[in-house]
Amino acid sequence: MKKIISLLLIATLMLTGIVMVSCADDTKTNENEAVENASDADLNETPEEPEVKKLTVNEGKLTMGTNAQFPPYEYYEDGKIVGIDAEIAAAIAEKLGLELVIEDMEFNSIITAVVSNGVDMGLAGMTVTEERLESVNFSTSYATGIQSVIVVEGNGVESLDDLAGKKIGVQLSTTGDIYASGDYGEDNVIKYNKGADAVLALIGGDVQAVIIDNEPAKSYLAANPDAGLKILDTEYAVEEYAAAINKENTELLNAVNAAIEEMILDGTIDAIVAKYIPAE
Ligand code: GLN
């Protein structure tokens, strides 16, 4: 890995023109050559070879911000955060020669942590949205997400058409919250800090539906087998999950994209997903 880092460093130095500075004593012609060489290096660069400048906030570490209440993407098992995102992040970190550190936080705080360089990337079953793109960059998408509607059997919500005027539970600041607040009005949307609390409210009759990502929805059904919960057949929304990265850190974005694209092509991502989401 050291070798890769030094190669990347050399590439970076060339691109940033430091090579030119070291040639400062040379004649003007040589300087121009250096410029030409630098642009040659630029042209020859392939997307698989990201230029790595300031890669991460803590040297040698890849710090991921997540909300570990989102099975099967991130959740606790024996005191450890596991799941699809945790494994994908571990594989990315390994490819970059970095040690993965996972920080658990409110979902609502992840983008802020990325923007303020508290973490290197947000990986949290996070949907790419126009609004989030104003604050952060998103990597290549690694999964499709679905917003599903959970109801209690026989509670009068049989299809999306029945949602109008009903109380809908969501997890604060998620796309379920954003879309439902737009479609059904803020007054009808009750926001909970945790998806699990929204589901408890549904079971208790405080809300008549919960709009939440499909995979966690399935876990909530499995965790409450006697509550009469069901997921409506019609999907409320289909979206893309990706890693959120600080807009300034294009080096890391390129490196993460290269890693994700490699893992999509060689089947690593499919294998990780299949481990947590058995084919139906
Ligand atoms: N996919 C949803 C979003 O990005 C929910 C993610 C989550 O709760 N971890 O808003």
Q: What is the pLDDT of residue 95?
A: 97
pTM score of the predicted model? 0.79
In the chain, DSSP finds a helix count (H) and a strand count (E) of: 11, 13
- CA–CA separation, 61 vs 36, rounded Å? 35
Ligand 1: centre distance to CA 126 (Å): 5
Cβ atoms 255, 55 nearer than 8 A: yes
* pLDDT digit string, tens, across residues 42-96: 444 555 544 444 689 999 999 999 999 999 999 999 999 999 999 999 999 999 9
Domains and CATH numbers, the chain: 61-142+242-276 (3.40.190.10), 145-238 (3.40.190.10)
* pLDDT digit string, tens, across residues 212-269: 999 999 999 999 999 999 999 999 999 999 999 999 999 999 999 999 999 999 999 9
Ligand 1: centre distance to CA 145 (Å): 9
Atom of ligand 1 lying closest to residue 129 CA: 4
- CA–CA separation, 60 vs 62, rounded Å? 7
Ligand 1, residues at Cβ distance < 6 Å:
67, 70, 107, 124-127, 145, 171, 174-175, 213
Atom of ligand 1 lying closest to residue 178 CA: 10
> Do strands 168-171 and 209-213 pair parallel, antiparallel, or not at all (unpaired)?
parallel
Atom of ligand 1 lying closest to residue 174 CA: 10
